[in-house]
């Protein structure tokens, strides 16, 4: 076990970044979770300036790409109809984007079977499209389980990965037919003591990402020695440990994921030799990144690094993953209106009808910096746009912390003008609330391309996750 100690469960400092990072200076922009604290390389001013220019060009190109996507979505008959019908704030969900992402992910990682992490966006249309594609589902609660079951998903396609649950929740999931669960403590293991022989658990490993925006091992997961002890204890209790799971947190570095995979495989081999057992499952978690305000490694770049590591094990192990963000984020856009305008000490403020207690919850809870466009300038290029000014965007509640974005360059806006943010599908409305008595932002399901019938439907998330 000696070589595992400093790796598994501890921050790694030497991640090589194989995919082309498009941040300023080719170094890490804000979202990179695990850069090694290196000595800055001494470079001439010219090199720094040209690297900065490259970085700024990359950010501009992401902005242009998102602008084009928003234009296409908002030009559809169904988006127009939904906006006319419901007004703002409104989330526009295109489930076909979820399908396209799932297909890309499956093509890039053919050795992996995917279980959509319903938590990211627990919406019927997303469940339907992924169920059609043959995707599995990862649920974290009884309500999420009920949602996917209502859509006819067989229990065999589900995994329950929350490492700590009420006994009653486990009993309900078992009764529904779920057979794969995650644990990371002896207390949780004991809850499965009397489970049927076909029930299996995965032990959650910890891979810290303390420098990133999200460290999914800050709360859950164990290091290799504790993992070994749990496997041994499970044998005493008669609980079947099928393998291991982990979640590296949101990461923009395929090498970090590769390190975690390699460490988990090493641990599995070691315990198999030591305890004379055979594991069946490796669950490589979620964490695939999304380009919010800066570009990130693509699905294909992750596949190019991870697939060669996994493929040799795919015959003896069932390799699974639980992606949420990468499937859901780009499928939804938010449209809001300006409801108030104020000149404050730090300049112009626009108050919107949605904020961080609603669909923009990702700003505070998920460390996301969303792009925001004024609808009337969407069709324009940077060159032909009218004069703009920097502004702060605030949400509608009385909470002073309800600020969506600062220093956003926008044209002069009036009350009633519309704004839109792309990539608002993951951990947005799912974590929003009705604080200040404001209704949860509705979701309209839209279709791209010419419409032929009733195209916009409205679904409120509480209904989407209500227990059947
Ligand atoms: C256990 C587990 N698996 C998967 C996910 C989905 O992760 P991501 O959206 O980063 O892909 C989460 C997110 O909270 C999680 O907690």
Cα–ligand 1 centroid distance for 325 (angstroms)? 8
φ/ψ (deg, to 5) at 241: -95, 115
Q: Among 140, 177, 173, which Cα is nearest to 156's?
A: 177
Q: Is 117 in the pocket of ligand 1 (CB under 6 A)?
A: yes
Query: What Å distances lie between residue 453 and 56, 72, 81, CA to CA?
Result: 43, 19, 11
To test the pocket of ligand 1, the residue of 260, 286, 326 to mutate (highest count of ligand atoms within 8 Å of its CB) is 286
Cβ(161) – ligand 1 distance below 6 Å: yes
- Ligand 1 atom with minimal separation from the 326 CA: 11
Does residue 172 fall inside a structural domain?
Answer: yes
Q: Is 80 exceeded by the pLDDT of residue 103?
A: yes
Q: How far apart are CA 104 and CA 274, in angstroms?
A: 39
Q: Which residue has the higher pLDDT, 189 or 212?
A: 189
Q: How many domains does the chain have?
A: 2
Whether 466 shows a pLDDT value over 60: the answer reads no
Pocket test of ligand 1: the residue of 214, 216, 244 to mutate, having most ligand atoms within 8 Å of its CB, is 216
Per the structure, the complete domain to which residue 214 belongs is given by 95-329
Domain check: are 145 and 191 in the same one? Answer: yes
Residue 453 has pLDDT above 70, yes or no: no
Spatial neighbors of 173 by CB under 8 A, at least 6 apart, are 139, 142, 145, 160, 165, 181
- Decide if 162 is inside a domain: yes
Distance 114 CA to ligand 1 centre (A): 12
Find the 326 Cα to ligand 1 centroid distance in Å: 10
Return mean pLDDT, the chain. 86
Q: Is 112's pLDDT higher than 80?
A: yes
pLDDT for residue 451 is more than 90 = no
* Ligand 1: nearest atom to the Cα of 249: 10
251 close to 212: Cβ distance less than 8 angstroms: yes
> Residue written as tokens 């570009």?
295
Q: Catalytic: which of 19, 71, 297, 398? A: 398
On the question of pLDDT at 126 being above 90, the answer is: yes
pLDDT at position 252: 86
**Is there a single domain that holds both residue 110 and residue 188?**
yes
Residues 322 and 218 in one domain: yes
What mean pLDDT comes out for the span 88-93? 97
pLDDT of the residue at 385: 57
pLDDT at 176 over 70: yes
Q: Is 243 exposed, middle or buried (0-12, 13-18, 19+ CB in 10 A)?
A: buried
Pocket perturbation via mutation, ligand 1, pick of 105, 112, 120 by most ligand atoms within 8 A of CB = 120
Burial 263-302 (b: 16+ CB within 10 A, else e): bbbbbbeebeeeeeeebebbbbbbbbbbbbbbbbbbbebb
pLDDT of amino acid 2 = 39
In ligand 1, the atom with minimum distance to the C-alpha of 288 is: 11
325 lines ligand 1 (CB under 6 A): yes
Would you state the pLDDT for residue 409?
94
Local confidence band at 8 (pLDDT 50, 70, 90 cut-offs): low
If asked whether residues 303 and 348 sit together in one domain, one would say: no
Q: State yes or no: pLDDT of 382 exceeds 90.
A: no
Closest CA to 360 of 407, 398, 393: 393
Residue 285 Cα to ligand 1 midpoint, Å, equals 7
How many angstroms separate the CA atoms of 245 and 204, rounded? 5
Q: Which residue has the higher pLDDT, 31 or 133?
A: 133
Check if 303 has its Cβ closer than 6 Å to any atom of ligand 1: no
Q: How much is the pLDDT for 15?
A: 38
Residue 165 pLDDT more than 60? yes
138 lines ligand 1 (CB under 6 A): yes
**Residue 28 covered by a domain:** no
Asked if 338 and 413 touch (Cβ cutoff 8 Å), the reply is yes
Give the global pTM. 0.86
Domain boundary residue, one of 301, 329, 357 = 329
* CATH, residue 384: 2.40.37.10
- State in Å: Cα 323 to ligand 1 middle: 6
- List, for residues 181-196, the tens digit of each pLDDT value: 999 999 999 999 999 9
Nearest CA to ligand 1 atom 7: 286
How many angstroms does the Cα of residue 324 sit away from the middle of ligand 1?
Answer: 6
pLDDT at position 251 is 83
Mean pLDDT for 92-101 is 97
Q: Which is the closest atom of ligand 1 to the Cα of 324?
A: 9
Residue 19, SS3?
Answer: coil
Question: Within a domain: residue 18?
Answer: no
Residue 14 has pLDDT above 60, yes or no: no
- 233, part of any domain: yes
Asked whether the predicted pLDDT for residue 41 surpasses 60, the reply is no
**CB of 89 shorter than 6 A to ligand 1:** no
Report the 3 state secondary structure along 154-183: CHHHEEECCCCCCHHHHHHHHHHCCCEEEE
Verify that 320 and 345 share a domain, yes or no.
no
pLDDT (mean) for 286-313:
96
Of 312, 329, 346, the last residue of a domain is 329
Structure tokens at 122: 């627990």
Q: Which comes out higher in pLDDT, residue 83 or 49?
A: 83
pLDDT tens, 238-295? 999 999 999 998 888 899 999 999 999 999 999 999 999 999 999 999 999 999 999 9
Residue 177's pLDDT band (boundaries 50, 70, 90)? very high
> What's the average model confidence in pLDDT over 382-401?
86
Q: Do 325 and 347 sit in the same domain of this protein?
A: no
Q: Out of 20-24, 50-54, 386-390, which region has the weakest mean confidence (pLDDT)?
A: 20-24
Asked whether residue 312 falls in the same domain as residue 418, the answer is no
- 47 within some domain: no
In a domain, 241, yes or no: yes
Same domain assignment for residues 126 and 267? yes
Name the residue at shortest CA distance from atom 14 of ligand 1: 119
156 and 128 housed in the same domain: yes
Which CATH number do you get for residue 155? 3.20.20.10
- pLDDT tens-digit profile of 347-380? 999 999 999 999 999 999 989 999 999 999 887 7
Q: Tell me: do 206 and 341 sit in the same domain.
A: no
**pLDDT for residue 16 is more than 60:** no
My answer on whether 133 and 277 are in the same domain is yes
Flag whether 29 is in a domain: no
Quote the pLDDT of residue 124: 96
The answer, yes or no, to whether any atom of ligand 1 lies below 6 A from the CB of 119, is yes
- Find out whether the beta carbon of 250 lies less than 6 Å from any atom of ligand 1: yes
- The pLDDT-based confidence of 53 (bands split at 50, 70, 90) is low
Last residue of a domain, one of 294, 329, 364: 329
For residue 268, how far is its CA from the centre of ligand 1 (angstroms)? 22
The whole-angstrom separation of Cα 224 and Cα 163 is 17
Judge whether 71 counts as a catalytic residue: no
The answer to whether the CB of 287 is under 6 A from ligand 1 is: yes
Distance in Å, CA 366 to ligand 1 centroid: 12
Same domain, 313 and 338: no
Cβ–ligand 1 distance for 22 under 6 Å, the answer: no
């Amino acid at each position: 076990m000696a070589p595992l100690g400093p790796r598994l469960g501890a921050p790694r400092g030497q991640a090589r970044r194989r995919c082309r990072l498009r941040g300023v200076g080719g170094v890490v922009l804000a979202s990179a979770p695990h850069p090694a604290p290196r000595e800055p390389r001494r470079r001439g001013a010219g090199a720094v300036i040209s690297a900065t220019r490259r970085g700024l060009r990359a950010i501009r190109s992401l902005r242009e790409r998102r602008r084009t996507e928003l234009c296409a979505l908002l030009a559809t008959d169904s988006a127009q109809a939904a906006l006319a019908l419901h007004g703002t704030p409104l989330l526009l969900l295109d489930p076909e984007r979820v399908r396209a992402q799932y297909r890309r992910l499956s093509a890039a990682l053919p050795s992996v079977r995917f279980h959509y992490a319903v938590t990211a966006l627990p919406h019927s249309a997303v469940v339907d499209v992924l169920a059609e594609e043959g995707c599995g589902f990862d649920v974290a609660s009884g309500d999420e389980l009920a949602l996917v079951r209502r859509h006819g998903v067989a229990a065999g396609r589900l995994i329950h990965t929350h490492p700590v649950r009420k006994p009653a929740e486990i009993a309900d999931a078992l009764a529904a037919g779920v057979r794969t669960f995650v644990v990371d403590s002896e207390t949780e293991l004991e809850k499965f003591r009397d489970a049927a022989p076909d029930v299996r658990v995965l032990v959650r490993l910890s891979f810290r990402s303390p420098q990133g925006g999200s460290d999914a091992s800050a709360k859950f997961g164990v290091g290799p020695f504790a993992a070994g002890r749990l496997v041994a204890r499970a044998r005493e209790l008669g609980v079947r440990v099928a393998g291991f799971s982990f979640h590296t947190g949101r990461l923009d570095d395929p090498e970090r994921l590769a390190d975690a995979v390699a460490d988990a495989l090493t641990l599995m081999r070691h315990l198999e030799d030591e305890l004379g057992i055979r594991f069946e499952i490796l669950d490589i978690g979620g964490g695939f990144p999304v380009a919010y305000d800066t570009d990130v490694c693509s699905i294909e770049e992750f596949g190019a690094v991870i697939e060669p590591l996994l493929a040799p094990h795919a015959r003896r192990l069932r390799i699974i993953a639980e992606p949420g963000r990468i499937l859901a984020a780009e499928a939804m856009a938010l449209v809001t209106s300006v409801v108030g305008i104020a000149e404050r000490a730090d300049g112009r403020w626009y108050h919107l009808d949605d904020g961080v207690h609603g669909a923009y919850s990702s700003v505070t809870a998920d460390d996301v910096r969303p792009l925001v466009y004024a609808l009337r300038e969407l069709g324009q290029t940077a060159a032909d746009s009218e004069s703009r000014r920097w502004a702060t965007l605030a949400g509608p509640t009385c909470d002073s912390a309800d600020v969506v974005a600062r220093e956003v360059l926008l044209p002069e806006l009036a009350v009633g003008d519309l704004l839109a943010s792309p990539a608002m599908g993951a951990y947005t409305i799912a974590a929003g609330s009705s604080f200040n008595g404001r209704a949860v932002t509705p979701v309209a399901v839209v279709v791209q391309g010419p419409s032929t019938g009733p195209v916009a439907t409205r679904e409120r998330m509480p209904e989407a996750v209500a227990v059947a």
